[in-house]
Amino acid sequence: MTIYNYFEKLILLLTTEKKITAIKKKDLLKIYFIYIFLICISSLFFSLFYIKKLNVIDNNYNIILENIPFFFGSLVSNLVNNGEYIQKEFGVTFYLFRLPLLPLLITILAKISKNIFFIIAFKNIIIFTIYFVISYISFKKNKTTAFFIFFLLIPLVIPYNLIVALNLEYEDSISSVFLILIFGLIFSKNRYNFIYIGIFLFLLYFTKSSFFFLVIILPIIIIIENFNLKNNIKYTPLLASILAIIIWGSFGLYKTGRFPFGSELSTSHSYTLSLALNKDFKRYYPGITVDLLSENSKIIIKSEWEFYDYYNNLNKIYLKNNTNEYLSNIFIKLKFIFFNIFNDTSGVPLDNKGDVINISDLPNKNFDKIFFPLDKINISHIISKIILNISIIICIIKLLKNYKNSLKLNLEIYFLLFIILNLIPHIIGWAYSRHLVAISNLCLLYLLFIIEKKYKI
């Protein structure tokens, strides 16, 4: 009996059918409640893990807004307490330091309750309910119940990917789910699939600046492939992308006097990139957090764009003088992306009191002894790398075998396009495992489409 036969029996237990057929409405609520129950239980266990971050949670299990990591704390605190989309970092007032989708979602939930169990559970219920509903709407007419359930399980089957999806402060917890939907919708036969693609591209634009390439290029590819002046609905993704640019750009222009575009979407971009353009990057990455390479304590900056331009100029000078060194670092990043199977929880040097030691205070001879090595094999990373490499190999073989008709291989072309557009920002900067969750999920979906076509699930 194959693995699929076992899944088939499990799926039939969830439904009232004697064989796997198209998705039935009478089975939908049962599947939804089981699915959301799994999400809630997973969120509960994740919340229990999260409360170990004592600086984030108070004694009543309420989240301390100001202490939310990755520069979200100040922004969410101001949104909840003052209703202002503003934050202070490095002694500077920022309006565009972080994109708004995740902070606004946390803010809405924190307005109701600051309890950590509530915030994490309902954040995940909202995201996965959207995922469930759009999946059903998209595939109810042309896919089986088996495909639908497999599609729902994609973000949950690899343990590390599930942990990222449940996380509170990772933008990847949202983007990794939205990207699966966008990729799946391209091959949906729903008449409104282009409208749904437009909606999720619009939301993705406000999630993380690294998706700028995908949000701009993907709609153009879709229009070129489906060019038809009589079917205006196919232009929705491009219109949604343009609308997102106008809204965020207008907000930036109103608040700061400058229209953000491209790398300027988030004014933290030049600062983040400067960490990848540091002379010690190769020495740190991936075993030591590159955040310790920050030079912000050595400068005095008075405004948001002065902050951006300072690091932008710093980056240009580095690239001009160290082009070969920067290019050589790309191989380290590619090695990590495709072959890393170790935990990459960044080692941080601590003193006896538990405070972070300033790197400049460390004697070189003791430097390597203080950091934790990248030495623990992670089963989830092994699974992800195998899936990633097998998917790309299968895709390339299919394209080479059918090179004369390669334009008809839409699935393979779009799959490579998604992989490339997701990897470009991380090759320019860097990636840790949480940044690659969306890519491994896309690989799972690509393999699911191949299996569906072969076995008619």
Tell me the pLDDT tens digit for each residue of 369-402. 444 445 578 899 999 999 999 999 999 999 888 8
How many angstroms separate the Cα of 100 from the Cα of each of 82, 192, 290, 306, 308?
16, 27, 24, 21, 18
Q: Residues 357, 384: one domain?
A: no
pLDDT at res. 352: 43
10 located within any domain: no
Q: What pLDDT is stored for residue 369 in this prediction? A: 45
The token pair at 212 is: 């700028």
324-336, pLDDT tens digit by residue? 999 999 999 999 9
Q: Are 389 and 353 found together in one domain?
A: no
Helix axes 159-166, 437-455, angle to 10 degrees: 120
Q: Is residue 9 part of a domain?
A: no
pLDDT in tens, 7-22: 555 555 555 555 556 6
Q: Is residue 1 in a domain?
A: no
Select from 179, 221, 219, 216 the least CA-distant residue to 200: 179
Q: What is the domain extent for residue 306?
A: 269-370
Phi-psi region of 70 (alpha: psi -120 to 50; beta: other; left: phi over 0): left
Is the pLDDT at 424 greater than 90, yes or no?
yes
Same domain, 132 and 226: yes
Does residue 74 sit within a domain? yes
Choose the final residue of a domain: 347, 370, 393.
370
Q: Residue 83 has what pLDDT?
A: 92
* Tokens read off for 299: 């400068």
Q: Which domain-ending residue is among 335, 370, 405?
A: 370
CB contact at 8 A, 185 and 135: no
Q: Say what the pLDDT of residue 260 is.
A: 95
Cα–Cα distance measured from residue 193 to residue 200, given in angstroms and rounded to the nearest whole number = 11
Please check whether residues 296 and 154 belong to one and the same domain: no
> Is residue 8 a part of any domain in this protein?
no
Q: 158 and 43 share a domain?
A: yes
Same domain, 241 and 277: no
Share of the chain above pLDDT 70, in %: 84
User: 18 lies in a domain?
Assistant: no
My answer on whether 62 and 144 are in the same domain is: yes
Are 165 and 127 within one domain?
A: yes
Domain count, the chain: 2
**Are residue 321 and residue 355 in the same domain, yes or no?**
yes
Do 431 and 303 reside in the same domain of the chain? no
* Domain end marker among 329, 349, 370: 370
Average pLDDT of the chain to the nearest whole number: 86
Could you tell me which residue, 189 or 390, shows the higher pLDDT?
Answer: 390
- Please indicate, yes or no, whether residues 52 and 84 belong to a single structural domain of this protein: yes
Residue 5 domain flag: no
First vs last C-alpha separation in the chain: 16
Asked whether residue 28 falls in the same domain as residue 161, the answer is: yes
Average pLDDT of the segment spanning 104-123: 95
Tell whether 53 is covered by a domain.
yes
* Segment 61-75, tens digit of pLDDT: 899 998 888 889 899
